[in-house]
Chains A and B, each alone.
Chain A
Amino acid sequence: MSGFATWSVSTAVFLPLVGAILITALPKAVMRDGAVYFISMATSGISLLISIWIAINFHFHSGGMQFQVNASWIPTIGARYHVGIDGISLPLFVLTFLITMLCTIYSMQWMPEPRNTRPFFALILLLTTGMAGTFVSLDLVLFFIFWELVLVPMYFLIAVWGSPGRREYAAIKFFLYTLFGSIFMLLGFIALYLHSNVNGHHTFDILQLSKLGQAGAFGPVFANLVFAGLFLGFAIKVPMWPFHTWLPDAHTEAPTVGSVILAAILLKMWTYAFIRISLPVLPNAARDWAPIIGVLAVIAIVYASLACLAQTDMKRLIAFSSVGHMGFVMLGISTLNQRGINGAVVAMVVHGLITGMLFFLVGSTYDRFHTREIARLGGMAQLMPWLAGLLAYCSIASLGLPGLAGFWGEFLALLGSWNPARVLSGHVNLYHFLTAFGVVGTLLTAGYFLWLLQRVNLGRPKEEWEGHAFKDVLPLERIAWAPLLILILVVGIYPRLILDVTGPAVQTVAHIFGG
C-alpha cells in the first residue's frame, strides 16, 4: 500500500481532533463564528472525503481487515496502535463523518443557546474523533481510549447546550450509566489481557484475541464471566431493556445536534462492540448468552413501542423508538447467523440515517413552535407543508415500509431469527416466539408512528398559533438534510449498497457459529 493508503484511516480519525485544537487554541480575534464554521466544515469534510476514498478503494470481496496499521505504542503493557477497517466498520466509519458534517451545517442555522460557538464545535469535532476511532480500533486499550473520549464531550453538549431545566440531570445520568458500563467493560478487557498468551506475552489485540478465543483458549467459566462483564458494559449503552432509562432523558434534553449524533452514531458504538469483540473473542459464551440477548431484545422492541404510544413529548417519542430499533439490532445479533447479523449491521446504518433525520426534524419543529408537546401541535401540513412532508417520509421510513431504508434491517433480523445459527439449534422454538413478538413490535411501531403523524401533521392548527408566521424548511436545512433523505430512498431501493459491503465481513463472523 502506498503511504497515504496506510495512514488514510488515521488521518481521517485525527483530522477532526486537529480542527478541535485549532478552534480552541487560535486567538479570539481570528476565531469569529465564520472561521469556526470553516474549520469545522473543512476538517469533517476532508475526513468524509478520505473515508469515501477508502470506501472506493476497499476490496469488497474480502472479509478481513484492510487499511491496517499496526504500530508500537505502549510496549510495556503490550498495547499497540492497531487500526483497520472491514465491511462492518466501513459503513459506520463513513456515516460518522457524514453526520458530523451535516450537523455542522445544521448548526450554522440553529445554534443552540447559549451560543458560544467555539467550545460547541470543538466538542463536536472531539466527539467525531472518538466515534470514528472506536469503529477502527483493533486494540482493546485503543478502543477503550476512543470509547471514553466520547463521554466528556457528550456530557458537556447535553449539560451546557441542552434544553433548560432537566439538562443537568440528563447529562449526569448519561455520564453515570455510561461510565458505570465502561467499568465492567474495562474489567473484562483486563481479564482477557491477563488470560491471553501469545508466545509468552499478554495481548490486547482484538484479532489475536479472536484467534485465541476461537481456538478455545478461554475456559467456559472464565469466558462466561468476561462475557457478562462486556455484556453489561455494552448493554447499558446500546441501550438494552432494562438498562435503557438514561436514553430517553439524554436524547430529550440534548441539543438537536447532540441527539442526532447520539442516535445516529453513538448508539452504534455499543452494538458494533458486540459484533467486533464479544462474538469473535468469546464465541462459546456468546452461544450461551444469545437466547438471553434475544429475549431482552424482543422485550425492548415491544416495551419501547408501548412506551411510544404513551409519550406526550415528540422528541421523547423518537427517543423511545430508538430503544425499539436497537432492539431489532440486538435481535439480529442474537441469531448469530449471517442473515441476522447482516440485518443488524444494516439496521445500525439505516437507523443512523432515519432516526438522525427524525431528530433533525423534531429539532426544527421545536425551533419553530418552541414546544415539543404533541397535544399542542397539529395541522403542520397546512402550516409548513415541506416540514410536515419530510416528517411523514421519515416516520414511514422508520416504521419499516418496504421501498425505504428502514425495511431491510428489520426484515433481515426477523428473517434470521426464525432460523438461528446452527449452534443455537436447541433454542429454535424460543426463536420462533421471538420472531412472532418482533413482528408484533413492527405492527406497534407502525401504529405509534402513524398516530404521531395524525396528531402532528393532520387536523387543524391549534388556535394558539393563529397569526404566527412559520418559515418552512430553510435553505441550510435543505443542504443538511438532502444527503440523508436521498440515502434513505437509495438504500431502500437498492439495499446491496450496504449489504455488499458488509456481506463478506459478516460471513467471517457468522462462520464461527457454523454459518
Chain B
Amino acid sequence: MRIDYAALSPELVITGAACLVLLLDLALRGRTRVLSNYIALFSTLLALVLVAPKLFDAPTSTLGGLFVLDHFAVVMKIIFLAVAAYVIWISGPPMRGHRYEGEFVFLLLCSVLGTLLMPSSRDLLMLFVSLELVSAPAFVIAGLRKLNPLSNEAALKFFIFGVLSAGIFVYGISLIYGATGATSLNAIAASPAARATHPPAVLFTGIVFLVAAFGFKVSAVPFHFWAPDTYEGAPTPLAAFLSVASKAAGFVGLLLILYIGFPALSHLWGPFLGAIAILTMTVGNVVALRQRQFVRLLAYSSIAHAGYMLIPIAIIGSKAGIAGANTNATLIRSLVIYLAIYSVMQLGAFAVAIGISKQYPTLLIRDMSGLGRRAPLPALALSGFLIALGGIPPFGGWFAKFALFTAAIDAGTTLGLVLAIAMVLNSVISLFYYLGVVKVMYTGEAPDEGVVSFPRTIAAATALAFVGVVFVGIYPEPFARLADAARLVLHI
C-alpha cells in the first residue's frame, strides 16, 4: 500500500515535534525549558503552512481509505492548528517554570494530533482512535497542578467521564458492527440495516451510544457535568483548549458519523439531537446565570454554545435530492463559521482570564470588579469578547449566530424553526451574564487600587483576538469564504 506522505504531512510534523519536545525536555534545565513551547508553536505554524495550500488541491485519501483529506478536513485542520498555536502561545506565561512545562507541551501536541485526525476519519475505529487521542492526554494535563485539590478533582472527574464514554463508544461500535457488518462509514451507509425504514433496535441503540460518547466530548447536557469542574481546576490554557479545539473535534466526529454513516435515519437521530440541543443551550445558559467564578461561567457558556452548534447537525440530512444537498452544504458551512468565530471569541476571553489569573488565581467575578479602571485595555477587550459571545454586533459573534440562524430556517423544517427560535431566546438569556461581567468590570468597586499586571505575551495575544473579533464583526466575508470552501465529500 502506498502512503501519501504529503497528505499526512501536518500530522507527521506534529508527531515529530511532540517526540522532540518529550526528549528535549529531559535535557533542558531552568529557563531554557521554554524552548519546548517555541518548538510546539513553530510546529503548529509549520503544519498550518503545510495544510493550507491543500485547499486548492483535489480531495485525496490514503491508508486504504482510512484517512481522507477533503476540503472540509483541510478547513477544520486549519482551524484546529490555528487554535492550537494560539493556546500554546498563551500557555507560555502561566506554564513558565512549571515542573511539568515540557510534559504539558508534549501532551497538548498529542491532543492536537487527535483533533487533526478527526476530520480525516471515515471509519468508526479511526474515529475512536482520534477521539481517545484528543481526550487521553488532556486527562493528564488536567491533573498537572498536582498539589492543588481542585486540579485533582478536575483530572479525576474528567478521567472517569472520559473513560466511561470511551467504553460506551466501543460498545456502540460493536452494536453497529453487529447490525451492519461494517465499521467504515460509507459501508455502514450502504448496508441494508442503515437504509431500512424501520431499522433494528440494536442499530439505533448503537447510534444513541455514539451520540452519548460525543456528547461527553462536546459537553452536551446531560453529559456535561465534568466540564465546569475540569475547566476550573485544570491549568487554564487546557480549559481554553478543551472548550474550543476538543469540543470542535467532537462536533466534527458527530457530524461525520451521523451525516455519512446514517443519512437515511436522520428522521430518528435528528429530533433526538434536537432535543439534546435545546436542553444543552437552556441548561448551559440558565446555570451560567448563577456562576461566581469566571472560568466556570465560561464553561457553562461554552455548554450553551455547544447547544447552538448541535443545531445544524440535528437538521442535516432532513431533505433529500439536490435541494437537500444545498441545504446540507449550507448547514455544514454555518457550523464551520460558528466554530471558527466561536474559537476567536472564546480564546480571547480565556486569554484575558489567564492574564489576570497571575494576580487573582481564583478568578472570581468579584475579583474582576473595577477592572475597567485598573486594566483598561484588557477590560475593553474582554467586554468585546463577551458581547461577541452574546451575539451583539458589531463584534464577530453576530455573524456566527446569523449564519446558523439563517441556515436553520432555510432548511424549512419544523425542527429547524423550533431550534432557531430556541437559539435566539437562549441568546437573550445569555446576555444577562455576559453583560453582568462587563458591568462589574466598569461599575463595581475595585477590591484594591493599582494597575493589574498583565503579561506582555498575553496582552499581545488578547490584542490579536480582539482585532479578530472586531474584524469578523465588520467584515465577516473571509471567514464565510473559508467556511464556504469546507465541502464535505461523501464518497472518495
Contact = CB atoms under 8 A, between A and B. Distances in A.
A24 B442 contact: no
Given A145-B394, A152-B392, A159-B439, A76 B484 contact: yes
Interface stretch (A176-184, A344-352, A482-490): A176-184
A190 interface: yes
Contact of A152 (B387, B405, B424): B387
Contacts of B439: 156, 159-160
Contact of B406 (A73, A77, A145, A149): A77
Contact of B428 (A73, A160, A180, A193): A180
Chain A interface, >50% SS class: helix
Nearest to B391: A148
Interface string A166-180: 000000100110011
B481 interface: yes
Given A76-B484, A175-B431, A148 B406 contact: no
Contact of B392 (A28, A151, A186): A151
Interface string B387-420: 1000011100011001101100110000000001
Contacts of A74: 399, 475-477, 480
A73 B477 contact: yes
A176 B477 contact: no
A104 B435 CA distance: 25
Contact of B424 (A148, A172, A183, A191): A183
A119 B409 contact: no
B443 A114 contact: yes
A155 B435 CA distance: 9
Contacts of B428: 176, 179-180, 183
A190 B393 contact: no
B489 interface: no
A77 B398 contact: no
B393 A149 contact: yes
Nearest to A147: B393
A133 to B, nearest CB: 10
A187 interface: yes
Contacts of B275: none
Contact of A76 (B372, B424, B432, B477): B477
A151 B402 CA distance: 17
Nearest to B443: A160
Interface string B116-147: 00000000000000000000000000000000
Interface string B227-251: 0000000000000000000000000
B380 interface: yes
A194 B407 CA distance: 10
Q: Which of B387, B403, B406, B484 has the most chain A CB atoms closer than 10 A to its own CB? A: B406
A145 B424 CA distance: 16
Given A114-B443, A187-B409, A191-B409, A145 B435 contact: no
Interface size class of A (residues with CB under 8 A): 20 to 34
Among B420, B475, B477, chain A packs the most CB atoms within 10 A around the CB of B477
Given A73-B475, A76-B477, A148-B398, A119 B410 contact: no
B142 to A, nearest CB: 35
Interface in B426-465: 428, 431-432, 435, 438-439, 442-443
A58 interface: no
Contacts of A38: none
Contact of B394 (A149, A160, A183): A149
Nearest to A183: B424
Interface residues of B, number: 33
B425 interface: yes
Contacts of B442: 119, 156, 160
A144 B484 contact: no
Of A119, A152, A156, chain B has the most CB atoms within 10 Å of the CB of A152
A233 to B, nearest CB: 12
Contacts of A77: 402-403, 406, 480
A75 interface: yes
A76 B431 contact: no
Interface string B20-49: 000000000000000000000000000000
Interface string A434-466: 000000000000000000000000000000000
A183 B398 CA distance: 12
Contacts of B393: 144-145, 148-149
Contacts of B410: 194
Contacts of A190: 405-406, 409
A144 B394 CA distance: 10
A281 to B, nearest CB: 18
Contacts of A152: 387, 392, 435
A190 B417 CA distance: 12
Interface string A124-146: 00000000000000000100110
Interface in A15-37: 24, 28
A106 to B, nearest CB: 22
Nearest to B377: A25
Interface-central residue, A148, A183, A193, A194, by most chain B CB under 10 Å:
A183
A160 B436 CA distance: 12
A180 B443 CA distance: 26
Counting chain B CB atoms within 10 Å of each CB, the highest count among A77, A141, A149 belongs to A77
Contacts of A175: 431, 435
Nearest to A145: B393
Nearest to A155: B435
Interface in A278-320: none
Given A73-B475, A76-B477, A183 B406 contact: no
Nearest to B395: A152
B43 to A, nearest CB: 32
Contacts of B424: 183, 186-187
A77 B483 CA distance: 12
A235 to B, nearest CB: 18
Contacts of A148: 392-393, 398
A31 to B, nearest CB: 10
Nearest to A126: B394
Contacts of B399: 74
Interface in A57-85: 73-77
Interface string B99-122: 000000000000000000000000
Interface in B5-25: none
A73 B477 CA distance: 7
8 contacts: A73-B475, A75-B477, A76-B477, A76-B480, A149-B394, A152-B387, A183-B424, A190-B406
Interface of A: 24, 28, 73-77, 114, 119, 141, 144-145, 148-149, 151-152, 155-156, 159-160, 172, 175-176, 179-180, 183, 186-187, 190-191, 193-194
Given A75-B477, A160-B439, A186-B405, 4 more contacts: A145-B394, A172-B432, A175-B431, A179-B428
Closest 7 A-B residue pairs measured CB to CB?
A76-B480, A145-B393, A183-B424, A148-B393, A179-B428, A74-B477, A160-B443
